[in-house]
Amino acid sequence: MSDYGRTPSFGVSIDPSVHSVAEAFALAQRADELGLDLLAVQDHAYQPTHLDTWTLLAYLSAATRHVTVMPDVADLQLRPPAMLAKAAASLAVLNDGRVQLGVGGGPFADAIASMGMEARAGKDMVEYVDASVQILREALRGGHVEAGNDQHAAAYVAGPRPTRAPQVWVGAQKPRMLALVGRSAEGWISPLNIYVPPEDVPEKQATIDAAARAAGRDPRDIRRIYNVIGTIGARGPRQGLVGDVETWTDFLARAVVELGFDTFVFWPVTDPLDQVDVYATGVVPAVIARVEQLRSNA
């Protein structure tokens, strides 16, 4: 059992398809009105029907007032860390710190290579991501950054420095990347619940925690983000978590107090606008109350 004691946060995934732009803005604005914490956008630039993630995040940020935006997750092999830090810091200055930075190694080597970038795999990819995370964290604090040329930065003075700098959260699933999270990152972004089911989570959390302790870090300082796909209600596709508000409340509350997650990004399978209403007004307050109850009982 892992409970790191954080108050849960809640977000929703925004589809970057060029065919659903109006829906994306309507969903973002509704999430903002309902008080959700995060808007998350996947990053697959090689998909011809996908908008560029950073361009979309900037527009969504301008169309909202309170909610934080984040890539879930930015492909570091397509987005060199020095320039990605510049983009994230710039947006954080412009929107008063409403940015978090989710990054990953990029799962599709052939697609990365097709866009003219060097595609790394295995140990080479992990080492590249590790060095990139160091650049990102240093650059987002501002000041002098030094790195090897393989990370697309030699030595430069980073800036601007936002008042509230984005944290660097890393998408990871396998042991070497999870250990990287523990050593270097400020958060772990788990893949979807259909790829990392609850029974697989404790081992992954233990890997992160062991690496954090070995690096002299407190595991409680590392954020834990779960992407959860599914449908709230009995009707709709049977993909991911499907059930009523009580089913979702129980699943997410136990994911906090038993699995160690503190943030949830909801990926609605169908009817996103209706689903986000039920999520924000029904599931979210129930999860917060249930977590408080479970913690007080414990």
Q: Is residue 95 part of a domain?
A: yes
Q: Is residue 62 part of a domain?
A: yes
| Total domain count, the chain | 1
Which H or E run contains 67? none
Q: What pLDDT is recorded for position 61?
A: 98
Q: Is residue 1 part of a domain?
A: no
Is residue 236 over pLDDT 90?
Answer: no
Instruction: Give me the percent of the chain exceeding a pLDDT of 90.
Output: 87
Is residue 252 over pLDDT 90?
Answer: yes
Is residue 202 over pLDDT 60?
Answer: yes
Q: Is residue 21 part of a domain?
A: yes
Q: What pLDDT is recorded for position 1?
A: 65
Q: How high is the mean pLDDT of the chain?
A: 95
Q: Is residue 2 part of a domain?
A: no
Q: What pLDDT is recorded for position 152?
A: 58
Is residue 154 over pLDDT 70?
Answer: no
- Range with the poorest average pLDDT among 40-54, 145-159, 191-205, 276-290: 145-159
Phi-psi region of 279 (alpha: psi -120 to 50; beta: other; left: phi over 0): alpha
Query: Tokens 């020095």, residue?
Result: 82
Phi-psi region of 160 (alpha: psi -120 to 50; beta: other; left: phi over 0): beta
Rounded to an integer, what distance in angstroms lies between the CA atom of residue 243 and that of residue 187? 28
Q: Is residue 231 part of a domain?
A: yes
CATH number assigned to the domain comprising residue 46: 3.20.20.30
Is residue 109 over pLDDT 90?
Answer: no
Q: What pLDDT is recorded for position 143?
A: 83
Rounded to an integer, what distance in angstroms lies between the CA atom of residue 43 and that of residue 127? 21
Query: Whose CA is closest to 32, among 11, 7, 53, 18?
Result: 11
Q: What pLDDT is recorded for position 107?
A: 81
Contact 201, 258 (CB under 8 A): no
- pLDDT tens digits for 22-56? 999 999 999 999 999 999 999 999 999 999 999 99
Q: Is residue 254 part of a domain?
A: yes
Q: What pLDDT is recorded for position 113?
A: 86
Query: Tokens 């986000």, residue?
Result: 276
Domain with 46 in it: 9-297
Q: Is residue 33 part of a domain?
A: yes
The pLDDT confidence band at residue 298, using thresholds 50, 70 and 90, is confident
- pLDDT tens digits for 59-107? 999 999 999 999 999 999 999 999 999 999 999 999 999 999 999 998 8
Measure CA 277 to chain center: 21
